[in-house]
């Protein structure tokens, strides 16, 4: 077989990849080296790994790409000390560091583990929410960040001159579209020297309103409402 | 009279030198064909067309299956091969590697095979996507059951494409193939 035939063969094999690779489903990786293991179906990248998939980027020491045996969904697992992550979806930028990140390609779920993992979320208006947790699950499809830790810590920096709001809890769910942060389990929120403690605190970042109570929708609930302005 | 003798002697000397040079040139032209560079090159002691060389392990399983369109063996030197295909069986016989090249060179001890020019690497395994790779100038080390190249290389596996510099295969670890540096890959999930 001549050289030109070899090259032609490779080009023909690669031809179907060219348009598909431009689609959103393509994951691009750069690294120092890679090992393809057909026995396990794993592709392992090592050394200065940068993986990019649409709105998400991970910088890590190692990266393993596999497929779920049952669903066939692509799974990306990155590890680093620490690894850095960056997501930018619909004007909401989330950055941070962790020790392990697992990304499910089809469902766009990113799970972050760390001791702790740190994050910072900035919306289009410049409003910041940063904090730390042990485990975070970020659903990029619905812009929902769910965190747990002992404790989860957060700090919200308003865009204007308002004082920052800080808090801790065992669990925190942040709906980025609704700008709602729900703290549960020994939740504490502080601002301007005032402290609110409850097992459940709902913090509306858009309205700067904090609602405290065991069950926000129950009639018998006890609420503590603070107007911050 | 003396002048005539002197001129005649000089002319005679010139004529003698010219004749000598002509003779020398003619003799040189006659000798030249016998000094052609080609005749000094060693000739193969054995030439085989469409040769197949099979090396088996202790149990008779094919470890290396080498086919070449032309094999030339040189005494106390090496073996040169043209248009060759090397099939390397894995230890577990689960998957085989196929290496194809236009030319190859095997050392006198038959422990190393250097694949010249573009080298096509392919692995087929039932139940999984083929891995196809392209690189250049690959060395197959029979003794250590590995093959490597320091040239740029590209791997294709289903809809995934990975490129880098340096390709490494350890035949004793079935299914594993590595790119050694400056790697970039594209993985497509449907």
Distance CA A204, CA A211 (A): 8
Q: What are phi and psi of A137, to 5 degrees?
A: -120, 120
Q: What is the pTM of this model?
A: 0.79
Q: Do B182 and A39 touch (CB under 8 A)?
A: no
Question: What are the pLDDT digits (tens) for A135-188?
Answer: 999 998 898 999 999 899 999 887 667 788 999 999 999 998 898 999 999 999
Mean pLDDT, all residues of chain A: 84
ipTM for the predicted complex comes to 0.79
* Residues in B touching A28 (Cβ below 8 Å): 184-187
In chain B, the percentage of residues whose pLDDT exceeds 70 is 74
| pLDDT higher at B188 or B92 | B188
- Does the beta carbon of B163 lie under 8 angstroms from any beta carbon of chain A? no
Q: Do B128 and A38 touch (CB under 8 A)?
A: yes
Burial B149-178 (b: 16+ CB within 10 A, else e): bbebbbbbbebbbbbbbbbbbebebbbbbb
Residue B15 has pLDDT above 80, yes or no: no
| Cα-based distances in Å from A190 to A47, A153, A179, A214, B157 | 42, 12, 18, 18, 54
Distance CA B49, CA B88 (A): 21
In chain A, the percentage of residues whose pLDDT exceeds 90 is 49
Q: Do B178 and A35 touch (CB under 8 A)?
A: yes
Predicted pLDDT of residue A102: 96
Confidence band for A15, pLDDT divided at 50, 70 and 90 = low
CA distance B127 to chain A (A): 10
Q: Who among A1, A20, A38 is closest to B125 (CB)?
A: A38
Predicted pLDDT of residue B1: 54
Question: What are the pLDDT digits (tens) for A60-97?
Answer: 999 999 988 888 889 999 999 899 999 988 788 999 99
Q: How wide is the angle at C-alpha B90 spanned by C-alphas B86 and B91, nearest 5°?
A: 135
* Residues in A touching B161 (Cβ below 8 Å): 14, 17, 21
Predicted pLDDT of residue B31: 42
Confidence band for B3, pLDDT divided at 50, 70 and 90 = low
A contact test, residue of B157, B187, B190 with most A CBs within 10 A: B187
CB atoms within 10 A of CB A186: 14
- Does the beta carbon of B145 lie under 8 angstroms from any beta carbon of chain A? no
Which residues are CB-contacts of B177 (< 8 A; sequence separation ≥ 6)?
A: A35, A36, B121, B123, B131, B133, B155, B167, B168, B169
Predicted pLDDT of residue A196: 87
Segment A40-50 mean pLDDT:
94
Which residues are CB-contacts of A170 (< 8 A; sequence separation ≥ 6)?
A: A148, A149, A150, A151, A152, A184, A185, A186, A187
């Amino acid at each position: 077989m001549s050289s030109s035939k070899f090259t032609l063969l490779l080009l023909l094999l690669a031809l179907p990849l060219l348009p598909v690779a431009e689609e959103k489903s393509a994951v691009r990786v750069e690294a120092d080296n890679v090992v393809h293991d057909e026995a396990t179906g794993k592709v392992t990248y090592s050394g200065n790994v940068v993986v990019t998939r649409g709105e998400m980027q991970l910088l890590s020491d190692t990266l393993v790409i596999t497929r779920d045996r049952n669903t066939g969904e692509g799974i990306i697992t990155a590890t680093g000390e620490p690894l850095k992550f960056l997501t930018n979806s619909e004007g909401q930028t989330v950055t941070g560091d962790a020790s392990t990140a697992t990304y499910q390609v089809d469902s766009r779920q990113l799970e972050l583990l760390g001791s702790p993992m740190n994050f910072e979320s900035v919306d289009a208006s410049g409003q910041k929410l940063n904090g730390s947790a042990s485990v975070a699950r970020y659903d990029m499809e619905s812009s929902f960040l769910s965190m747990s830790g002992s404790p989860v810590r957060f700090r919200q920096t308003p865009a204007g001159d308002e004082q920052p709001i800080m808090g801790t809890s065992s669990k925190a769910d942040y709906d980025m579209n609704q700008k709602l942060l729900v703290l549960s389990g020994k939740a504490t929120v502080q601002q301007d020297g005032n402290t609110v403690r409850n097992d459940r605190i709902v913090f509306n970042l858009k309205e700067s309103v904090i609602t405290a109570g065991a069950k926000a929708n129950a009639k018998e609930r006890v609420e503590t409402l603070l107007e911050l302005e | 009279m003396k002048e005539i003798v002197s001129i005649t002697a000089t002319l005679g000397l010139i004529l003698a030198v010219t004749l000598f040079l002509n003779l020398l040139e003619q003799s040189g032209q006659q000798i030249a064909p016998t000094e052609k560079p080609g005749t000094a090159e060693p000739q193969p002691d054995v030439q085989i067309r469409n040769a197949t060389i099979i090396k088996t392990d202790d149990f008779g399983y094919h470890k290396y299956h080498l086919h070449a369109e032309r094999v030339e063996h040189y005494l106390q030197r090496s073996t040169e091969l043209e248009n060759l295909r090397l099939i390397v069986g894995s230890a577990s016989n689960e998957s085989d590697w196929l290496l194809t090249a236009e030319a190859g060179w095997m050392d006198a001890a038959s422990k190393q095979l250097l694949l010249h020019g573009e080298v096509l690497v392919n692995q087929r395994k039932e139940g999984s996507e083929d891995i196809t790779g392209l690189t250049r100038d690959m060395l197959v080390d029979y003794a250590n059951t590995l093959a490597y190249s320091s040239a740029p290389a590209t791997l294709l596996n289903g809809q995934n494409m990975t490129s880098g510099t340096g390709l490494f295969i350890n035949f004793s670890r079935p299914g594993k193939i590595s790119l050694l540096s400056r790697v970039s890959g594209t993985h497509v999930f449907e």
